[in-house]
């Protein structure tokens, strides 16, 4: 059975002006163990799609099916840390909320290179370090499904590159099912098993690519650049 099923969903938002239809009869499946990247121009509903899967939004029509027994991890565009508690406690609070023992927190902080900062407050960390805490927090709850909402878009290119490679390493160590929303075609090609392109309003799945390349992958791989080039052509 698919890990995530969006079946003919419809979603409209009503503000002070006319109602905006984001999805109308949209369908998508994510298979167990698969990392699917969703790319598209601003306003095509990428983040709304992720929020529907996370249960933060409800579809107006159609159904969203996620195994209720699967624990969910999520990395947002911003780290969303509690600045008044240390790094370790930020991660421990998420683990405790998931009903898990906190004994493995230092291990995941070590995996993201932040064990020496475990007792520091987030306010003294760089943007890249704060986002690494957010990644550690998401993995620490031992999720079966990981949702990533443009997790590196606020970072400079060098820091973003480092964190993409870190995420790839963590994924190899702890295989998951995942849904990644990104504006970055190169990021999608590097990380995903499958890339889907959204276009229009209401959004349609206009193109789909399978990235059948072994991991770990290098950002300099010409085969990845070829996927990147084709995605960009779809978006222009």
> Domains in the chain: how many in total?
2
Examine the domain organization and report whether 151 and 56 are in the same domain: yes
Examine the domain organization and report whether 53 and 151 are in the same domain: yes
Instruction: Give me the tens of pLDDT residue by residue for the chain, a chain 236 residues long.
Output: 789 999 999 999 887 667 889 999 999 999 999 999 999 988 899 999 999 999 999 999 999 999 866 789 999 988 999 999 999 999 999 999 999 999 999 999 999 999 999 999 999 999 999 999 999 999 999 999 999 999 998 889 999 999 999 999 999 999 899 999 999 999 999 999 999 999 998 999 999 999 999 999 999 999 999 999 999 998 87
Q: So what's the pLDDT on residue 130?
A: 95
Examine the domain organization and report whether 185 and 230 are in the same domain: yes
Examine the domain organization and report whether 153 and 62 are in the same domain: yes
Boundary (domain end) residue, out of 92, 109, 143: 143
Q: So what's the pLDDT on residue 2?
A: 87
Domain around 4:
1-70+145-236
Examine the domain organization and report whether 89 and 166 are in the same domain: no
Examine the domain organization and report whether 168 and 233 are in the same domain: yes
Examine the domain organization and report whether 92 and 176 are in the same domain: no
CA distance 224 to 236: 19
Boundary (domain end) residue, out of 111, 143, 175: 143
Examine the domain organization and report whether 169 and 65 are in the same domain: yes
Q: Which of 127, 126, 184, 179 is nearest to 153 (CA)?
A: 184
Residue by residue, DSSP assigns 53-84 as HHTSS--SEEEEEE-TTS-EEEE-SS----TT
Examine the domain organization and report whether 56 and 92 are in the same domain: no
**Residue 206 belongs to domain with CATH number:** 3.40.50.300
Yes or no: say if 137 and 122 are a contact pair by the CB < 8 Å rule.
no
Q: So what's the pLDDT on residue 212?
A: 93
Examine the domain organization and report whether 14 and 120 are in the same domain: no
Q: So what's the pLDDT on residue 1?
A: 78
Q: So what's the pLDDT on residue 96?
A: 96
């Amino acid at each position: 059975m698919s890990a995530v099923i969006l079946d003919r969903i419809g979603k409209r938002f009503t503000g002070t002006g006319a109602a905006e239809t984001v999805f109308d009869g949209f369908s998508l499946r994510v298979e167990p163990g698969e990392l699917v990247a969703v790319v598209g121009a601003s306003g095509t509903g990428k983040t709304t799609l992720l929020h529907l899967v996370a249960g933060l939004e409800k579809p107006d029509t159609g159904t969203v099916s996620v195994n209720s027994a699967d624990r969910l991890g999520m990395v947002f565009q911003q780290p969303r840390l509690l600045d008044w508690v240390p790094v370790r406690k930020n991660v421990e609070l998420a683990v405790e909320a998931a009903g898990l023992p906190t004994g493995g927190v230092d291990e995941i902080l070590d995996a993201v290179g932040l064990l020496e900062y475990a007792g520091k407050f987030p306010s003294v960390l760089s943007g890249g370090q704060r986002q690494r805490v957010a990644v550690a927090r998401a993995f620490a709850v031992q999720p079966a499904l990981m949702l990533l909402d443009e997790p590196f878009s606020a970072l400079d290119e060098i820091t973003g590159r480092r964190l993409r490679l870190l995420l790839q390493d963590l994924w190899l160590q702890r295989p998951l099912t995942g849904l990644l929303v990104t504006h970055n075609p190169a990021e999608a090609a590097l990380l995903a098993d499958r890339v889907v392109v959204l276009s229009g309003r209401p959004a349609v799945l206009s193109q789909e690519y399978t990235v059948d390349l072994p991991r770990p992958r290098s950002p300099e791989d010409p085969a990845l650049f070829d996927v990147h080039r084709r995605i960009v052509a779809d978006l222009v």
